[in-house]
Amino acid sequence: MARRRSPRRASPAASAALGVDALQAAVKSAEMLTAAAVTIGLRTSAMGAAWQGWRPHDHRENTRMVTEKMAAAGEFAAAAGSNMIAMQTEMLRLWTDVGAWSRLATLGLSGYSAMLKPYHTRTTANAKRLGRSKRR
């Protein structure tokens, strides 16, 4: 009977880097969700004010809202596709290499960050821009 080799463990440095990546992804997610809530509130109040006739209706903002979401969805899909290919490649290595699990987790987090980026960029920019226009 052949002896089984003991599995290799991920290095402490790799585990620490994975923790930092996970924290950064969580912070970016929270920032994006907060900016999205602010943006929705500002846009909804502007639409309500226009509907009541208190301020002119901003057609550019409504058009921008739709086109930005479509552009972000396209970038998200591109990032998701390329990340899925990388993760599938790493999954094939799992059959022979135990250390691949930490690389797979790292790929997952970097892929999540890449997919989050277009939405994060737009929502934080919209919250800043709309917040400035509210103060005027």
pLDDT digits 0-9 by tens, 11-42: 666 667 778 888 999 999 999 999 999 999 99
* Residue 57 clears pLDDT 80, i.e. is over it: yes
Query: What's the rounded Cα separation, in Å, for the pair 133 and 126?
Result: 10
Contact 50, 58 (CB under 8 A): yes
Position 13 scores a pLDDT of 65
Structure-token pair, residue 54: 């208190």
Amino acid identity at 120: H
Q: Tell me the pLDDT tens digit for each residue of 5-16.
A: 544 555 666 667
Integer-rounded Cα Rg, in Å, for the chain is: 22
Residue-wise pLDDT for 91-121, tens only, equals 777 766 766 777 778 888 888 998 999 999 9
| Spatial distance between the Cα atoms of 95 and 103, rounded to a whole number of angstroms | 14
Extents of the domains making up the chain: 29-135
